[in-house]
């Protein structure tokens, strides 16, 4: 997520041919292009909120995947148990 200074750079950079863009501790013009595509019209609070929502979404996806694995693992056990209980006399 871009910092306040990087957000200002994103907002002010209309041209990607600026030679100062590729220098600095954060990377290259490609990074700027990716940030511009993702955070283009956002302010810093909006970008922070987006990051929080993405993190929450990742946690929920992980929980769902774990639940689906548990359900898939229990399914054969429950069907085998049901077949023993409901066996005809």
Predicted local distance difference test score (pLDDT) of residue 53: 96
Tokens of 47: 């970008």
Q: pTM of the full predicted structure?
A: 0.51
DSSP letters of 30-75? HHHHHHHHHHTT--HHHHHHHHHHHHHHHHHHHHHHHHHHHHHHHH
Domains of the chain by residue range:
4-85
Mean pLDDT, residues 64-83 taken together: 81
At residue 66's C-alpha, the angle toward residues 79 and 38, to 5°, is: 145
Digit-coded pLDDT (tens) for 15-67: 445 555 555 555 677 888 888 888 888 888 998 999 999 999 999 999 999 99
CA distances (Å), origin 31, targets 25, 28, 53, 79, 88: 12, 5, 21, 52, 67
């Amino acid at each position: 997520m871009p910092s306040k200074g990087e957000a200002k750079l994103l907002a002010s950079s209309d041209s990607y041919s600026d030679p100062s863009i590729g220098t600095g501790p954060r990377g290259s013009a490609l990074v700027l292009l990716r940030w511009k595509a993702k955070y283009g019209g956002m302010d810093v609070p909006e970008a922070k909120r987006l990051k929080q929502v993405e993190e929450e979404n990742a946690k929920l996806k992980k929980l769902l995947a774990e639940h689906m694995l548990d359900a898939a693992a229990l399914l054969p056990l429950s069907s085998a148990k049901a077949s023993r209980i409901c066996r005809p006399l």
